[in-house]
Structure 1
Amino acid sequence: MKYASGNQGSAAKPAAAAGVPPVSTHDDLRGTRNRVARSILDHGPSTAAAVAERLGLTQAAVRRHLDTLVAEGIVEPREQRVYGARGRGRPAKVFALTDCGRDAFDQAYDQLAADALRWIAQSAGGGVMGEAAVAAFARARLAAQAAGYREAVEAAAPESRTEALAKALTADGYAATARSAPNPQQGEQLCQHHCPVAHVAEQFPQLCEAETEVFSHLLGTHVQRLATIAHGDGVCTTFIPKKTTTASASTSGRKPA
Protein backbone atom coordinates (compact mmCIF):
# COMPACT_ATOMS: atom_id res chain seq x y z
CA MET A 1 0.00 0.00 0.00
CA LYS A 2 1.48 3.33 -1.10
CA TYR A 3 0.20 6.55 0.37
CA ALA A 4 -0.92 9.30 -1.94
CA SER A 5 -3.10 12.36 -1.66
CA GLY A 6 -6.73 11.58 -0.81
CA ASN A 7 -9.25 11.81 -3.65
CA GLN A 8 -10.90 15.18 -3.88
CA GLY A 9 -13.78 15.64 -6.28
CA SER A 10 -16.96 17.54 -7.04
CA ALA A 11 -20.42 16.63 -5.87
CA ALA A 12 -21.55 13.06 -6.38
CA LYS A 13 -24.26 13.76 -8.99
CA PRO A 14 -22.06 15.55 -11.56
CA ALA A 15 -19.35 12.93 -11.11
CA ALA A 16 -21.79 10.11 -11.66
CA ALA A 17 -23.23 11.84 -14.69
CA ALA A 18 -19.75 12.01 -16.19
CA GLY A 19 -19.29 8.31 -15.64
CA VAL A 20 -16.84 8.81 -12.74
CA PRO A 21 -17.57 7.05 -9.44
CA PRO A 22 -18.43 9.57 -6.70
CA VAL A 23 -16.03 10.11 -3.81
CA SER A 24 -17.24 7.80 -1.07
CA THR A 25 -17.14 8.21 2.66
CA HIS A 26 -14.56 5.40 2.67
CA ASP A 27 -12.30 7.45 0.37
CA ASP A 28 -12.67 10.49 2.62
CA LEU A 29 -11.72 8.43 5.66
CA ARG A 30 -8.72 6.93 3.87
CA GLY A 31 -7.57 10.39 2.81
CA THR A 32 -7.77 11.69 6.38
CA ARG A 33 -6.04 8.57 7.66
CA ASN A 34 -3.21 9.18 5.22
CA ARG A 35 -2.92 12.73 6.58
CA VAL A 36 -2.65 11.36 10.11
CA ALA A 37 0.13 8.96 9.07
CA ARG A 38 1.90 11.72 7.12
CA SER A 39 1.76 14.02 10.14
CA ILE A 40 3.52 11.37 12.23
CA LEU A 41 6.10 10.92 9.48
CA ASP A 42 6.81 14.67 9.33
CA HIS A 43 6.85 15.30 13.08
CA GLY A 44 7.96 12.01 14.60
CA PRO A 45 6.22 9.99 17.34
CA SER A 46 3.18 12.01 18.40
CA THR A 47 0.33 11.91 20.86
CA ALA A 48 -3.22 11.81 19.54
CA ALA A 49 -3.69 15.33 20.92
CA ALA A 50 -0.68 16.66 19.00
CA VAL A 51 -1.87 15.13 15.72
CA ALA A 52 -5.38 16.50 16.27
CA GLU A 53 -4.02 19.99 16.85
CA ARG A 54 -1.81 19.91 13.73
CA LEU A 55 -4.60 18.68 11.47
CA GLY A 56 -7.49 20.62 12.99
CA LEU A 57 -9.38 17.44 13.91
CA THR A 58 -10.99 16.27 17.12
CA GLN A 59 -8.96 13.97 19.34
CA ALA A 60 -11.75 11.38 19.15
CA ALA A 61 -11.55 11.32 15.35
CA VAL A 62 -7.76 11.05 15.39
CA ARG A 63 -7.89 8.18 17.89
CA ARG A 64 -10.26 6.27 15.60
CA HIS A 65 -7.86 6.72 12.69
CA LEU A 66 -4.90 5.73 14.86
CA ASP A 67 -6.73 2.57 15.97
CA THR A 68 -7.17 1.62 12.30
CA LEU A 69 -3.56 2.44 11.45
CA VAL A 70 -2.39 0.29 14.38
CA ALA A 71 -4.57 -2.58 13.16
CA GLU A 72 -3.07 -2.19 9.67
CA GLY A 73 0.46 -2.25 11.08
CA ILE A 74 1.22 1.29 9.86
CA VAL A 75 1.77 2.84 13.30
CA GLU A 76 2.44 1.43 16.74
CA PRO A 77 1.83 2.85 20.21
CA ARG A 78 4.78 3.27 22.53
CA GLU A 79 5.76 5.17 25.65
CA GLN A 80 7.18 8.60 24.95
CA ARG A 81 10.95 8.69 25.35
CA VAL A 82 12.16 11.30 27.80
CA TYR A 83 15.72 12.61 27.57
CA GLY A 84 17.02 13.98 30.84
CA ALA A 85 15.10 14.06 34.13
CA ARG A 86 11.64 12.48 33.96
CA GLY A 87 8.75 14.11 35.75
CA ARG A 88 6.18 12.33 37.86
CA GLY A 89 3.49 10.16 36.37
CA ARG A 90 3.48 7.73 33.47
CA PRO A 91 5.00 8.88 30.18
CA ALA A 92 2.49 9.93 27.55
CA LYS A 93 1.56 7.34 24.91
CA VAL A 94 2.77 8.32 21.46
CA PHE A 95 2.25 6.75 18.05
CA ALA A 96 5.21 6.06 15.75
CA LEU A 97 5.45 4.71 12.22
CA THR A 98 6.43 1.06 11.86
CA ASP A 99 8.81 -0.15 9.17
CA CYS A 100 5.74 -1.05 7.14
CA GLY A 101 4.44 2.47 7.62
CA ARG A 102 7.69 4.00 6.41
CA ASP A 103 7.67 1.71 3.38
CA ALA A 104 4.23 3.04 2.51
CA PHE A 105 5.78 6.43 1.82
CA ASP A 106 7.60 5.26 -1.28
CA GLN A 107 11.00 4.37 0.14
CA ALA A 108 12.43 2.89 -3.03
CA TYR A 109 15.66 1.27 -4.10
CA ASP A 110 16.55 0.06 -0.60
CA GLN A 111 17.54 -3.39 -1.78
CA LEU A 112 19.54 -2.02 -4.69
CA ALA A 113 21.47 0.31 -2.38
CA ALA A 114 22.13 -2.45 0.16
CA ASP A 115 23.35 -4.79 -2.58
CA ALA A 116 25.68 -2.10 -3.95
CA LEU A 117 27.22 -1.43 -0.54
CA ARG A 118 27.59 -5.16 0.08
CA TRP A 119 29.39 -5.47 -3.27
CA ILE A 120 31.72 -2.61 -2.32
CA ALA A 121 32.55 -4.33 0.96
CA GLN A 122 33.21 -7.69 -0.71
CA SER A 123 35.25 -6.16 -3.53
CA ALA A 124 37.51 -4.52 -0.95
CA GLY A 125 38.25 -7.88 0.61
CA GLY A 126 35.54 -8.05 3.24
CA GLY A 127 36.16 -7.81 6.97
CA VAL A 128 37.81 -4.65 8.27
CA MET A 129 38.88 -3.56 4.81
CA GLY A 130 35.36 -4.00 3.48
CA GLU A 131 33.92 -1.93 6.33
CA ALA A 132 36.51 0.78 5.65
CA ALA A 133 35.53 0.85 1.98
CA VAL A 134 31.86 1.30 2.85
CA ALA A 135 32.80 4.06 5.30
CA ALA A 136 34.83 5.81 2.59
CA PHE A 137 31.86 5.64 0.22
CA ALA A 138 29.53 6.99 2.93
CA ARG A 139 31.86 9.92 3.62
CA ALA A 140 32.17 10.74 -0.09
CA ARG A 141 28.40 10.59 -0.56
CA LEU A 142 27.69 12.80 2.45
CA ALA A 143 30.45 15.26 1.49
CA ALA A 144 28.76 15.80 -1.88
CA GLN A 145 25.35 16.05 -0.27
CA ALA A 146 26.66 18.53 2.32
CA ALA A 147 27.72 21.10 -0.28
CA GLY A 148 24.21 22.56 -0.36
CA TYR A 149 23.87 22.33 3.41
CA ARG A 150 27.13 24.23 3.92
CA GLU A 151 25.88 27.17 1.88
CA ALA A 152 22.70 27.41 3.99
CA VAL A 153 24.55 27.03 7.30
CA GLU A 154 27.26 29.57 6.53
CA ALA A 155 24.67 32.13 5.40
CA ALA A 156 22.87 31.91 8.76
CA ALA A 157 23.71 33.75 11.96
CA PRO A 158 25.76 31.63 14.41
CA GLU A 159 22.78 31.14 16.73
CA SER A 160 20.55 30.01 13.83
CA ARG A 161 22.85 27.52 12.13
CA THR A 162 21.22 24.41 13.55
CA GLU A 163 17.84 25.64 12.33
CA ALA A 164 19.33 26.43 8.91
CA LEU A 165 20.74 22.91 8.69
CA ALA A 166 17.34 21.48 9.68
CA LYS A 167 15.64 23.38 6.86
CA ALA A 168 18.23 22.17 4.35
CA LEU A 169 17.75 18.57 5.51
CA THR A 170 13.98 18.93 5.25
CA ALA A 171 14.35 19.98 1.62
CA ASP A 172 16.12 16.64 1.07
CA GLY A 173 13.28 14.66 2.64
CA TYR A 174 14.50 14.28 6.22
CA ALA A 175 11.63 16.25 7.87
CA ALA A 176 14.12 17.83 10.27
CA THR A 177 13.58 20.32 13.08
CA ALA A 178 15.80 22.15 15.55
CA ARG A 179 14.83 22.58 19.18
CA SER A 180 16.35 23.33 22.55
CA ALA A 181 17.85 20.44 24.50
CA PRO A 182 16.10 19.47 27.78
CA ASN A 183 18.59 21.85 29.39
CA PRO A 184 18.68 24.84 26.99
CA GLN A 185 21.88 26.08 28.61
CA GLN A 186 23.69 23.01 27.31
CA GLY A 187 22.71 23.22 23.66
CA GLU A 188 20.24 22.14 20.98
CA GLN A 189 18.88 19.02 19.37
CA LEU A 190 18.65 18.39 15.65
CA CYS A 191 15.77 15.97 15.03
CA GLN A 192 15.25 14.11 11.75
CA HIS A 193 11.74 12.64 11.73
CA HIS A 194 12.29 10.72 8.51
CA CYS A 195 15.29 8.95 7.01
CA PRO A 196 15.10 7.98 3.31
CA VAL A 197 17.92 5.45 3.80
CA ALA A 198 16.85 4.01 7.15
CA HIS A 199 16.59 0.40 5.98
CA VAL A 200 20.04 0.49 4.38
CA ALA A 201 21.52 2.20 7.45
CA GLU A 202 20.28 -0.69 9.58
CA GLN A 203 22.77 -2.91 7.74
CA PHE A 204 25.47 -0.28 7.20
CA PRO A 205 25.82 2.05 10.22
CA GLN A 206 28.67 3.79 8.41
CA LEU A 207 25.98 5.93 6.76
CA CYS A 208 24.85 7.30 10.14
CA GLU A 209 28.45 7.75 11.30
CA ALA A 210 29.36 9.72 8.17
CA GLU A 211 26.29 11.90 8.58
CA THR A 212 27.24 12.68 12.18
CA GLU A 213 30.75 13.66 11.07
CA VAL A 214 29.30 16.00 8.43
CA PHE A 215 27.04 17.67 11.01
CA SER A 216 30.07 18.23 13.24
CA HIS A 217 32.06 19.83 10.42
CA LEU A 218 29.17 21.98 9.24
CA LEU A 219 28.38 23.32 12.70
CA GLY A 220 32.01 23.63 13.80
CA THR A 221 31.61 21.69 17.03
CA HIS A 222 31.56 18.14 18.35
CA VAL A 223 28.05 16.65 18.15
CA GLN A 224 26.58 13.53 19.74
CA ARG A 225 24.06 11.20 18.12
CA LEU A 226 21.50 10.25 20.77
CA ALA A 227 19.11 8.13 18.70
CA THR A 228 18.59 6.90 15.14
CA ILE A 229 15.63 5.56 13.20
CA ALA A 230 17.93 2.84 11.86
CA HIS A 231 18.39 1.53 15.42
CA GLY A 232 14.65 1.47 16.09
CA ASP A 233 14.18 4.93 17.57
CA GLY A 234 11.32 7.10 16.40
CA VAL A 235 13.54 10.04 15.47
CA CYS A 236 17.20 10.55 14.59
CA THR A 237 18.31 12.91 17.36
CA THR A 238 21.67 14.71 17.42
CA PHE A 239 22.79 16.80 20.38
CA ILE A 240 24.65 19.99 19.48
CA PRO A 241 26.33 21.58 22.52
CA LYS A 242 26.63 25.30 22.88
CA LYS A 243 30.03 26.42 21.71
CA THR A 244 32.27 27.85 24.40
CA THR A 245 35.28 30.05 23.76
CA THR A 246 37.56 27.03 24.19
CA ALA A 247 35.47 24.84 21.89
CA SER A 248 35.31 27.57 19.28
CA ALA A 249 39.07 27.98 19.31
CA SER A 250 39.64 24.25 19.00
CA THR A 251 37.42 23.99 15.92
CA SER A 252 38.20 27.28 14.23
CA GLY A 253 40.87 25.77 12.00
CA ARG A 254 38.89 22.68 11.09
CA LYS A 255 37.89 22.49 7.44
CA PRO A 256 34.46 21.11 6.51
CA ALA A 257 34.43 17.66 4.91
Structure 2
Amino acid sequence: MKIARADSATRERVASLLMEGGPTTAAALASDLGLTPAAIRRHLDQLVADGIIEPRDPRTPGRRGRGRPAKEFAITDLGRDTFGHTYDDLASQALRYLRDHDGQDAVIDFARSRLTELEQKCTTAAAGSANAVQAVAKALTADGYAASVESSAAGEQICQHHCPVSHVAHEFPELCDAETEMLSRVLGTHVQRLATIAHGDGICTTHVPTQQGKKVTQR
Protein backbone atom coordinates (compact mmCIF):
# COMPACT_ATOMS: atom_id res chain seq x y z
CA MET A 1 0.00 0.00 0.00
CA LYS A 2 2.86 2.36 0.76
CA ILE A 3 4.26 1.73 -2.70
CA ALA A 4 0.89 2.51 -4.28
CA ARG A 5 0.60 5.80 -2.37
CA ALA A 6 4.15 6.74 -3.32
CA ASP A 7 3.46 5.98 -6.98
CA SER A 8 0.30 8.10 -6.88
CA ALA A 9 2.15 11.03 -5.33
CA THR A 10 4.93 10.82 -7.92
CA ARG A 11 2.46 10.74 -10.81
CA GLU A 12 0.61 13.73 -9.40
CA ARG A 13 3.95 15.54 -9.24
CA VAL A 14 4.74 14.62 -12.86
CA ALA A 15 1.35 15.92 -14.01
CA SER A 16 1.82 19.10 -11.96
CA LEU A 17 5.25 19.75 -13.48
CA LEU A 18 3.86 19.35 -16.99
CA MET A 19 0.93 21.64 -16.28
CA GLU A 20 3.12 24.34 -14.73
CA GLY A 21 6.11 24.12 -17.04
CA GLY A 22 4.65 22.89 -20.30
CA PRO A 23 5.75 19.94 -22.46
CA THR A 24 9.12 18.39 -21.64
CA THR A 25 11.10 15.18 -22.07
CA ALA A 26 11.31 12.09 -19.91
CA ALA A 27 14.96 12.87 -19.21
CA ALA A 28 14.14 16.35 -17.92
CA LEU A 29 11.35 15.01 -15.70
CA ALA A 30 13.62 12.31 -14.31
CA SER A 31 16.23 14.95 -13.47
CA ASP A 32 13.67 17.24 -11.79
CA LEU A 33 12.27 14.41 -9.68
CA GLY A 34 15.53 12.59 -8.97
CA LEU A 35 14.33 9.38 -10.63
CA THR A 36 16.06 6.85 -12.84
CA PRO A 37 15.12 6.64 -16.55
CA ALA A 38 13.40 3.30 -15.90
CA ALA A 39 11.38 4.70 -12.99
CA ILE A 40 10.18 7.82 -14.83
CA ARG A 41 9.27 5.73 -17.86
CA ARG A 42 7.05 3.51 -15.72
CA HIS A 43 5.18 6.54 -14.36
CA LEU A 44 4.89 8.15 -17.78
CA ASP A 45 3.53 4.97 -19.35
CA GLN A 46 0.82 4.76 -16.68
CA LEU A 47 -0.12 8.44 -17.02
CA VAL A 48 -0.38 8.04 -20.79
CA ALA A 49 -2.54 4.93 -20.34
CA ASP A 50 -4.80 6.90 -17.96
CA GLY A 51 -5.11 9.76 -20.47
CA ILE A 52 -3.55 12.29 -18.08
CA ILE A 53 -0.59 13.08 -20.35
CA GLU A 54 0.27 12.47 -24.01
CA PRO A 55 3.52 12.15 -25.99
CA ARG A 56 4.24 14.77 -28.65
CA ASP A 57 6.90 15.57 -31.18
CA PRO A 58 8.96 18.54 -29.94
CA ARG A 59 8.04 21.91 -31.48
CA THR A 60 11.66 22.80 -32.25
CA PRO A 61 13.75 19.64 -32.41
CA GLY A 62 16.96 21.49 -33.23
CA ARG A 63 20.17 19.62 -33.96
CA ARG A 64 20.57 16.47 -31.89
CA GLY A 65 22.98 14.58 -34.08
CA ARG A 66 21.93 11.16 -35.26
CA GLY A 67 18.56 9.70 -34.46
CA ARG A 68 15.15 11.22 -33.93
CA PRO A 69 14.61 13.93 -31.29
CA ALA A 70 13.30 12.79 -27.94
CA LYS A 71 9.54 12.82 -27.45
CA GLU A 72 8.04 15.42 -25.15
CA PHE A 73 5.14 14.78 -22.80
CA ALA A 74 2.28 17.24 -22.30
CA ILE A 75 -0.74 17.47 -20.00
CA THR A 76 -4.10 16.62 -21.61
CA ASP A 77 -7.51 18.18 -21.05
CA LEU A 78 -8.36 15.21 -18.84
CA GLY A 79 -5.18 15.87 -16.88
CA ARG A 80 -6.14 19.49 -16.37
CA ASP A 81 -9.53 18.34 -15.11
CA THR A 82 -7.81 16.77 -12.12
CA PHE A 83 -6.56 20.21 -11.07
CA GLY A 84 -9.87 21.80 -10.28
CA HIS A 85 -12.36 21.99 -13.17
CA THR A 86 -15.63 21.93 -11.25
CA TYR A 87 -19.21 22.89 -12.04
CA ASP A 88 -18.38 23.46 -15.72
CA ASP A 89 -21.78 22.29 -16.91
CA LEU A 90 -23.58 24.45 -14.38
CA ALA A 91 -21.51 27.51 -15.34
CA SER A 92 -22.19 26.97 -19.03
CA GLN A 93 -25.92 26.58 -18.39
CA ALA A 94 -25.97 29.80 -16.35
CA LEU A 95 -24.17 31.75 -19.08
CA ARG A 96 -26.49 30.38 -21.77
CA TYR A 97 -29.46 31.50 -19.70
CA LEU A 98 -27.91 34.93 -19.24
CA ARG A 99 -27.21 35.24 -22.97
CA ASP A 100 -30.66 34.03 -24.04
CA HIS A 101 -32.57 36.27 -21.62
CA ASP A 102 -30.40 39.39 -21.35
CA GLY A 103 -28.31 39.32 -24.52
CA GLN A 104 -24.64 39.06 -25.43
CA ASP A 105 -23.73 42.28 -23.62
CA ALA A 106 -24.78 40.71 -20.32
CA VAL A 107 -22.30 37.87 -20.88
CA ILE A 108 -19.55 40.41 -21.63
CA ASP A 109 -20.38 42.37 -18.48
CA PHE A 110 -20.25 39.19 -16.42
CA ALA A 111 -16.93 38.15 -17.96
CA ARG A 112 -15.42 41.50 -17.01
CA SER A 113 -16.92 41.66 -13.52
CA ARG A 114 -15.63 38.21 -12.49
CA LEU A 115 -12.06 39.48 -12.93
CA THR A 116 -12.42 42.53 -10.67
CA GLU A 117 -10.69 40.95 -7.67
CA LEU A 118 -7.95 39.36 -9.78
CA GLU A 119 -7.31 42.68 -11.51
CA GLN A 120 -6.83 44.36 -8.14
CA LYS A 121 -4.33 41.67 -7.11
CA CYS A 122 -2.40 41.99 -10.38
CA THR A 123 -2.41 45.80 -10.21
CA THR A 124 -1.04 45.78 -6.67
CA ALA A 125 1.64 43.26 -7.61
CA ALA A 126 2.71 45.20 -10.71
CA ALA A 127 2.83 48.54 -8.91
CA GLY A 128 5.36 47.30 -6.37
CA SER A 129 7.66 45.48 -8.78
CA ALA A 130 10.54 46.43 -11.05
CA ASN A 131 9.25 43.87 -13.57
CA ALA A 132 5.50 44.24 -13.90
CA VAL A 133 5.10 41.27 -16.25
CA GLN A 134 6.85 38.87 -13.88
CA ALA A 135 4.83 40.25 -10.97
CA VAL A 136 1.56 39.76 -12.82
CA ALA A 137 2.55 36.18 -13.71
CA LYS A 138 3.16 35.45 -10.02
CA ALA A 139 -0.23 36.94 -9.11
CA LEU A 140 -1.89 34.79 -11.77
CA THR A 141 -0.12 31.69 -10.45
CA ALA A 142 -1.34 32.43 -6.94
CA ASP A 143 -4.86 32.51 -8.38
CA GLY A 144 -4.52 29.10 -10.02
CA TYR A 145 -3.28 29.92 -13.53
CA ALA A 146 0.24 28.38 -13.24
CA ALA A 147 1.76 31.29 -15.17
CA SER A 148 5.33 31.87 -16.31
CA VAL A 149 7.09 34.44 -18.49
CA GLU A 150 9.15 33.89 -21.62
CA SER A 151 11.22 36.61 -23.29
CA SER A 152 11.47 37.28 -27.02
CA ALA A 153 13.03 39.93 -29.24
CA ALA A 154 9.65 41.68 -29.52
CA GLY A 155 8.81 41.62 -25.82
CA GLU A 156 7.61 39.09 -23.26
CA GLN A 157 4.98 36.39 -23.23
CA ILE A 158 2.83 35.46 -20.26
CA CYS A 159 2.26 31.70 -20.49
CA GLN A 160 -0.65 30.34 -18.47
CA HIS A 161 -0.37 26.57 -18.21
CA HIS A 162 -3.71 26.15 -16.49
CA CYS A 163 -7.07 27.86 -16.98
CA PRO A 164 -9.75 27.28 -14.33
CA VAL A 165 -12.51 28.13 -16.83
CA SER A 166 -11.11 26.68 -20.07
CA HIS A 167 -14.02 24.29 -20.67
CA VAL A 168 -16.58 27.08 -20.29
CA ALA A 169 -14.45 29.55 -22.27
CA HIS A 170 -14.51 27.17 -25.23
CA GLU A 171 -18.19 28.07 -25.66
CA PHE A 172 -17.92 31.59 -24.25
CA PRO A 173 -14.74 33.28 -25.60
CA GLU A 174 -15.89 36.45 -23.85
CA LEU A 175 -14.13 35.07 -20.78
CA CYS A 176 -10.81 35.03 -22.64
CA ASP A 177 -11.43 38.46 -24.16
CA ALA A 178 -12.15 39.98 -20.74
CA GLU A 179 -8.94 38.48 -19.36
CA THR A 180 -6.93 39.99 -22.21
CA GLU A 181 -8.51 43.39 -21.59
CA MET A 182 -7.68 43.10 -17.90
CA LEU A 183 -4.02 42.34 -18.59
CA SER A 184 -3.85 45.30 -20.94
CA ARG A 185 -5.17 47.64 -18.27
CA VAL A 186 -2.87 46.29 -15.58
CA LEU A 187 0.26 46.48 -17.73
CA GLY A 188 -0.66 49.79 -19.34
CA THR A 189 -0.14 48.63 -22.90
CA HIS A 190 -1.94 46.80 -25.67
CA VAL A 191 -1.39 43.06 -25.29
CA GLN A 192 -2.22 40.34 -27.77
CA ARG A 193 -3.58 36.88 -26.99
CA LEU A 194 -1.71 34.41 -29.20
CA ALA A 195 -3.12 31.10 -27.99
CA THR A 196 -5.66 29.74 -25.52
CA ILE A 197 -6.22 26.41 -23.81
CA ALA A 198 -9.95 26.87 -24.43
CA HIS A 199 -9.38 26.59 -28.17
CA GLY A 200 -7.09 23.59 -28.12
CA ASP A 201 -3.66 25.12 -27.56
CA GLY A 202 -1.32 23.69 -24.95
CA ILE A 203 -1.14 26.94 -22.99
CA CYS A 204 -2.70 30.41 -22.96
CA THR A 205 -0.10 32.81 -24.36
CA THR A 206 -0.32 36.59 -24.15
CA HIS A 207 2.25 38.79 -25.89
CA VAL A 208 3.36 41.94 -24.06
CA PRO A 209 5.37 44.30 -26.30
CA THR A 210 8.74 45.63 -25.16
CA GLN A 211 7.76 49.27 -25.41
CA GLN A 212 4.92 49.94 -23.00
CA GLY A 213 2.75 52.88 -23.84
CA LYS A 214 0.70 55.20 -21.72
CA LYS A 215 -1.31 53.48 -18.99
CA VAL A 216 -4.73 52.42 -20.18
CA THR A 217 -7.58 54.14 -18.36
CA GLN A 218 -9.29 51.91 -15.84
CA ARG A 219 -12.93 51.08 -16.41
Instruction: Tell me, yes or no, whether TM beats 0.5.
Output: yes
Cα distance in 2, alignment partners of residues 121 and 80 from structure 1: 40
Partner of 2:108 in structure 1?
135
Write the deviation string for residues 28-73 of structure 1: whole angstroms up to 9, x where unpaired: 2222112111211222222222222222223332222111111111
Where does structure 2 lack aligned partners over 5 or more consecutive residues?
Answer: none
Cα distance in 1, alignment partners of residues 11 and 90 from structure 2: 30
1:146 aligns with 2:119: yes
What SS does the corresponding residue of 2:17 show, helix, strand or coil? helix
- Pairs within 5 Å for 1:204-243: 204-243=172-211
Residues 84 and 164 in structure 2, CA contact (< 8 A), matched pair in contact too: no
Q: CA deviation at 1:230?
A: 0.7
2:159 to 173, 188, 191: 191
2:76 to 85, 89, 98: 98
1:63 to 41, 44, 61: 41
- Pairs within 5 Å for 1:9-88: 23-81=1-59, 87=62
Partner of 1:6 in structure 2?
none
TM-score by length of 1: 0.77
Write the deviation string for residues 181-205 of structure 1: whole angstroms up to 9, x where unpaired: 2x3xx11110111111111111111
Residues 46 and 94 in structure 1, CA contact (< 8 A), matched pair in contact too: yes
Cα distance in 1, alignment partners of residues 28 and 196 from structure 2: 22
1:161 to 118, 132, 144: 132
What SS does the corresponding residue of 1:255 show, helix, strand or coil? coil
Q: CA deviation at 1:81?
A: 3.4
What SS does the corresponding residue of 1:144 show, helix, strand or coil? helix
- The percent identity for this pair of structures is 55
Q: CA deviation at 1:91?
A: 6.4
Distance 1:227 1:79, change over 3 A: farther
User: Which protein is bigger by CA-based radius of gyration?
Assistant: 1
Q: CA deviation at 1:134?
A: 1.0
What is the root-mean-square deviation of aligned Cα atoms in Å?
Answer: 1.9
Residues 227 and 233 in structure 1, CA contact (< 8 A), matched pair in contact too: yes
Q: CA deviation at 1:143?
A: 3.0
Higher relative contact order structure (alpha carbons within 8 Å, sequence separation ≥ 6): 2
Partner of 2:218 in structure 1?
256
Cα distance in 1, alignment partners of residues 201 and 58 from structure 2: 11
Residues 45 and 235 in structure 1, CA contact (< 8 A), matched pair in contact too: no
Cα distance in 1, alignment partners of residues 98 and 195 from structure 2: 27
